[in-house]
Amino acid sequence: MDTTCVLQLSWPTKHFEAIDRGKCGDYMNWVFDGEILYISGPNSGVMWDFENVSDQPWYNYWDQVKKVEFSSGFYGYVGKNAFNSMEALETVDLAAGPHTLGDYAFYGCTSLSSINLAKDYIQRIGRYCFAGCTSLKYVTTSPYMLELGDHAFAGCTGLIQFKCSSGNSSSYVRTLPAFFLEG
């Protein structure tokens, strides 16, 4: 079986050995190459919500995924529990700037050390989205952030800096929710 995968969606063409691939939403796809989990879909794509961690289509690789990369041009929704408990996850490339990060999306990703959420399109971070990310040290949010869910960063015991970017928009989080660092 030929496992060579050519992925040409919104990315520049990438060639790599695909270990596994599948769907993660209507018109949303994923490919895993042994270290990086690539997520692709249309501009306004919507990932599925996963009720349990074991429902993630990439669950068999939860301890191998070191990076999650979204295709450029993706401005949609990252599903509930999408990457919950991926303890090996170190980096998330949100270059495309999904519009919304669902509840518990990165919960318990204990190796994740920094995340730049300053892309213009990220407007909502769900409840407990980054809770339990104990290695998380630096967070920068979008100047257009509208909603930061309760307990979004609860248990992030390594957090050194939480920076709210300023922008030209009048619509941004003016107050932090109750218990955004506690849980």
- State which residues form the domain around 47: 4-164
Name the CA dihedral angle for 139, 179, 147, 39, rounded to a multiple of 10 degrees. 50
pLDDT at res. 140: 79
Residue 174 falls within a domain, yes or no?
Answer: no
d(CA 138, CA 45): 28
Each residue's pLDDT expressed in tens, for the chain with a length of 183 residues: 444 333 334 444 455 678 899 999 988 999 999 999 999 887 778 999 999 999 999 999 999 999 998 887 777 899 999 999 999 999 887 766 678 899 999 999 999 987 877 666 778 899 999 999 999 988 877 777 788 899 999 999 998 887 776 655 444 454 556 556 665
Instruction: Give domain status of residue 151, yes or no.
Output: yes
Contact 177, 149 (CB under 8 A): yes
| Count of domains for the chain | 1
pLDDT at 59: 96
Is 170 a member of any domain? no
Q: Please check whether residue 108 lies inside any domain of the structure.
A: yes
Q: What is the CATH number of the domain that holds 84?
A: 3.80.10
Residue 180 domain flag: no
